[in-house]
Structure formats: structure tokens, C-alpha cells
Amino acid sequence: MSEKPRIIAIANQKGGVGKTTTAINVAAGLAEKGNRTLLIDLDPQGNASTGLGIEPEARNLTTYDLLVEGIPIGDVLCPTAFDRLYICPANSDLASADMELIANERRTFLLQDALKTLSGDFDYVLIDCPPSLNLLTINALVAADSVLVPLQAEFFALEGLSQLMLTVREVRQTANPALRIEGVVLTMYDKRNNLSQLVENDARQTLGELVFATIIPRNVRVSEAPSFSVPVLAYDSTSKGSEAYRALVAEMTASHRTPMRKSA
């Protein structure tokens, strides 16, 4: 691994499509494979922090302090119960960051600036974005090497995607020309449901090789895991959900070694 971590934003402005679940489990899967991994919780809901067992009262310094107060990232990140997996936790403080940063000239570069100071401490940084294309998500896209897009296999899934792709293009034209699409991953897929298959066909036809071969199935173990404050990989290591997330990690890490995925 190079000195610089590989930075992946997990984004989709729709809520409830599997961003946080994907962030937690891809992070856990990367750590399981021996990678030093940092998950940045960039959602005021703090679901990634909760899902990795960081109690609200244990969130002394948060992503808010990192971005708005300029607290060094080394002071904000904290270990999780899992080897090699660290998190910058978030809480509702982050909800006002957009407003508070309005007059800050570097407001879109704050996360990039913070991550630059990490040096060789991590192999991967994953960013769990909020369900909106706001300043926080822009910070993630500006800081990232690539964006991983969870797409829930349901009606209208692709419509929201064009807005996200437009934003990616804008960020490329301004602050981050090298930003790539890591890929689109179908989530909560139910193979007994025709709609899931229709959405998959549609996505593969429209987006081609940007869509990962791996599909994350709807799996009750995946939805149970957060209430035990662990990734599904730890909660039920052999569940269909765990197998799928491991396969996704394998696909992502393999593609890093081949020529870069073409951008959309």
C-alpha cells in the first residue's frame, strides 16, 4: 500500500438506500483483510457511529469539531471494537455545519485538508455521507478518490442517480478532477421480487461496467446487526449479507489493481 490512503465516499442523496450499512461493512471487510481503515461519519444522524458501538456519550470530539472547529483528525478519531478499524464519530452537532461554514472560504475543502494530515496511518478512508447533496457531501466528494454508490433495488432508484452524477461532474470540473466512480452496488436485493430484477437490468444497461457484479441481498441479519452495535460481518459471519459484503470488498480491492474503472 502507498503512503496515501485510498479515500472512498459512499454517497446517494436518497435516505435508506444502504449507505451506512455499506460503509460499516465494507470498512469492516477491508479491516478484516488486514487494511488499516478509517470510517468518517459525515451524517448528523450518527448511524455509522452507533452501528460500530460508539455510544453517544463517548463521542467527545466529532466530525463537527474536525470540520468546524479545526480540531486535528488524530484527536477526533477513535478505535472501535474491531482490529484496524477506526472511526471519526458524528452526532447532531453536524446538522448546523452547513450554516456555520457559509462564510468560510475553504468550506468545500475542509475534509480534504483534514485527511491530508493523516500521512501513512491508514490504507483506506471511507466516508459515510448524509442523504443530501449538501456541503457535507460536497466535502466528501472533494476529498475522495472515488465514490461508491449504493442503489436500492426499487422503483425510481435510477432517477436520483442522475442528480448525483451531475454533482460528481461539477466537483470534477472544479475542485477534484481526478474523482472517479468506484462503482454502483445494488442493495437490499430480493431475487423473488420482479422489481429487483427490473432495476438490476435497467442499471446494468444504463451504467454498464460501473455496476458491481456483487449484489447485496435483503437479509435480516444485515438489519439486525446495528442493534448489537456490530457489522454483520461480526454479528453473523456466514450470513448471506456477510458473504455479499466480503465479495464486494474483494471486487473493490481487485479493481484497484487493474486499470481504473471508466468514469460515468
Residues in contact with Mg ion by the rule CB under 5 A: 19-20, 47
Residue among 84 and 218 whose Cβ is closer to ligand ADP: 218
User: How many other CB atoms are found less than 10 A from the CB of residue 148?
Assistant: 25
x/- letters, 122..161, toward ligand ADP (CB under 6 A): ---------x------------------------------
CB 106 within 8 A of CB 97: no
Pick one of Mg ion, ligand ADP, none as the site partner of residue 79 (Cβ within 5 to 8 A by kind): none
Selected from 226, 246, 252, 264, the binder of ligand ADP by CB under 6 A is 226
Q: Pairing mode, if any, of strands 78-79 and 85-88?
A: antiparallel
Residue showing cell 444502504: 18
218: left (phi over 0), alpha (psi -120 to 50) or beta: beta
* Distance (Å, whole) CA 9 – CA 139: 10
* Distance (Å, whole) CA 178 – CA 180: 6
Q: Give the H or E element holding residue 196.
A: helix 194-207
Q: Nearest to residue 75, comparing CAs of 64, 42, 34, 98? A: 64
CB 39 within 8 A of CB 86: yes
Pick one of Mg ion, ligand ADP, none as the site partner of residue 242 (Cβ within 5 to 8 A by kind): none
Choose the stretch contacting ligand ADP; rule: CB under 6 A; options: 118-126, 140-148, 201-209, 216-224: 216-224
Residue 222 sits in the site that holds ligand ADP (CB under 6 A): yes
Residue among 44 and 241 whose Cβ is closer to ligand ADP: 241
Residue 18 sits in the site that holds ligand ADP (CB under 6 A): yes
Pick one of ligand ADP, Mg ion, none as the site partner of residue 239 (Cβ within 5 to 8 A by kind): none
Provide the CA 29 distance to its chain's centre, in angstroms. 13
Choose the stretch contacting ligand ADP; rule: CB under 6 A; options: 16-24, 76-84, 101-109, 192-200: 16-24
Residues within the interface to ligand ADP (CB under 6 A): 15-21, 47, 131, 187-188, 216, 218-219, 222-223, 226, 241
